[in-house]
Amino acid sequence: MPRARVSWRRGIARAGSIALAGYALASQPLAAQPYPNRAIHIVVAAEPGGQSDLMARAIATSFTRTLGQPVVIENRTGSGGTIGAHNVAQARADGHTLLIGGINNMVLATLLRSDLPYAPADLLPLGGMIRVPYGIAVTSRIPVKDLAEFAAYARAHPGEVSFASGGTGSSSQLAIELLKSRLALDMFHVPYRGILAAMPDLVSGRVDMLATDLALLLPLEKAGSIHLLAVGGARRASAAPQIPTVAEQGLPGYAVEPWYGLFAPVRIPKEIADTLSRALAEALRSDEVRKVVLAQGYEPMPLSGEALRALAAEETKKYAAIVEAAGLRNSQ
């Protein structure tokens, strides 16, 4: 065979080998490619300045330092946080789109809506972040100083005592619905468009009771505008250790406390999920994040992904009973 023809055939074979090698590299699964290889987007289902938004921005700097890529915060509000959760559930499961999820869109939405476009199982828990201590307060116009005195007052005025909330089906409503049920009280609900809209009416006495972030209530208590009767969590809050829990005042097992964690699309490769879980744990240990947590009156909740999954399942069971008793199923 002439030498020119042999060289031509060898060239074709070599080109084919190079093409096949390039195809094989391009066909590698996402898990085999370096991670992260571009900006990480954290979706927050709240307005800037909200609980989950503050935490997302607090961990962003730590994530950038640990993972070597910029972090972009995306605020996708609406529909009780379900729009943001749905967006992340549908995103590529490559670790570049994450969700700060919480009790509203990972627990309550599944109990209150029959048309929810995603299921909690569509999102993988990567780790817990914070608990938000709740306070239960009454207007200063009601002369009571603890839950026992309030219960006596409400029983003496059946059907006349009101409680406000940040909206129907919100955790602020369910906190009082559970209290009302446990104490067998006849009270009526006044929903507002967000908790901040309700607070002036609590101060003025247009509504009688409210449960919300303890950090929002403490300045009003200090000013004498309200009476803080209890904290809603399973333990006393570090921001106000002098205020007893509901459980300590005769209602064992009562615990209502919003929480937030980090989630990813469920099909994310395990090695990427593990990388993100480690980055989150490192962020929560950092001084910069702990400063934000404590300044806002939050409590650190450094749970593993599995522990967060168990918490969500436990909370779903608990709130299902509250929602059923209050007749709120499919209320949103």
Looking at the chain, the domain(s) classified CATH 3.40.190.10 span 134-249
Report d(CA 273, CA 144) in Å as an integer.
Answer: 50
pLDDT of residue 48: 79
Mean of pLDDT over the chain: 88
CATH value of 32-132+258-326 in 1.10.150.130, 3.40.640.10, 3.40.190.150, 3.20.20.540: 3.40.190.150
pLDDT of residue 178: 94
Q: Which of 20-24, 145-149, 226-230 has the lowest mean pLDDT?
A: 20-24
Phi/psi region, residue 299 (left: phi>0; alpha: psi -120 to 50; beta: rest), is beta
Per-residue pLDDT of 259-280, as tens digits, reads: 999 999 999 999 999 999 999 9
Kindly report the pTM of this predicted structure: 0.84
pLDDT of residue 20: 38
The CA–CA distances, whole Å, from 287 to 52, 292, 297, 299, 319 equal 18, 9, 15, 14, 34
Of the candidates 175, 180, 228, 220, which has an alpha carbon nearest to the alpha carbon of residue 196? Answer: 220
Looking at the chain, the domain(s) classified CATH 3.40.190.150 span 32-132+258-326
pLDDT of residue 139: 97
pLDDT of residue 249: 96
pLDDT of residue 25: 38
Report d(CA 108, CA 120) in Å as an integer.
Answer: 11
CATH superfamily of 134-249: Periplasmic binding protein-like II (3.40.190.10)
pLDDT of residue 330: 63
Q: At 135, list the tokens.
A: 């306070």
Per-residue pLDDT of 5-15, as tens digits, reads: 444 344 434 44
pLDDT of residue 160: 96
pLDDT of residue 46: 79
Side-chain-side CA neighbours of 68 within 13 Å: the count stands at: 5
Cβ distance 209 to 176 under 8 Å? yes
| Highest mean pLDDT pick, 70-84, 126-140, 313-327 | 126-140
pLDDT > 90: percent of the chain: 75
Average pLDDT value for residue range 158-183: 94
